[in-house]
Structure formats: structure tokens, C-alpha cells
Amino acid sequence: MLDEIEYKSIAVGFPLFTIGGLIMGAIWANSAWGKYWTWDPKETWSLITWFVYALYLHARFVGGWRGKRVAILSIIGFVAVIFTYLGVNLVLSGLHAYGSG
């Protein structure tokens, strides 16, 4: 049951993050700064997070992974999300950050 809840949550959240986070963020960045992508730490870690969840969905659909293996991927994805929103701001330096890393 938890595996299905996890899968459905990621299946809904992944396209929302893709469209709302990456694509619309790039469009906004272009209108604000004149570039769609600048490889800022926040942008880079957002892309890493996207790749982790893409790997999760790929492993589930193509590899047939279930249970513990995809649960580990979802935990890695969640850690990446937390680092993207908090760690980048506090530890790394860049356009989106407050740290001086």
C-alpha cells in the first residue's frame, strides 16, 4: 500500500515539477535575467532532483522495480529536494543562495 501511495505521489508530482519548476522557472529566468539556464547551484540541484525522480519512474516502468529498491530512490529524491530548497540556500553561494560556500 505504501509503495502505491509513493508511486502515485511521484507520478503526480514529477510532471508538476517538470512544468512548474523547471520549464516555467526557465521562462521566468529568461525574462528576468536574459538567460534560460545559468547553472546556478539551485538550478543544478533542481535538475539533479529531476533526474533522481526520472530514474525512479524509469526503474519502476522499465525495470519493474517495486518495494525496497524504489523506496530507496524516493528517499534519495526527498533528500535532494530538501538540499535543493534548504541546503543550497544556506551552504552554497549563487544567485538563489544566502550562503558563502
Model confidence at 101, pLDDT cuts 50, 70, 90, reads low
Amino acid at 22: L
**Total number of domains constituting the chain:** 1
**9 phi/psi in degrees, rounded to 5:** -65, -45
Give the residue-averaged pLDDT of 49-58. Answer: 97
Question: How would you write 6-59 as a 3-class SS string?
Answer: HHHHHHHHHHHHHHHHHHHHHHHHHHHHCCCCCCCHHHHHHHHHHHHHHHHHHH
68, containing H or E segment? helix 68-82
Look at residue 99 in the predicted model and tell me its pLDDT: 59
Determine the structural domain holding residue 59 and report its residue range.
2-91
Taking only the tens place, the pLDDT of each residue in 20-37 is 999 999 999 999 889 999
Q: What is the pLDDT of residue 22?
A: 94
Indicate whether 98 belongs to any domain: no
Report if residue 50 sits inside a domain: yes
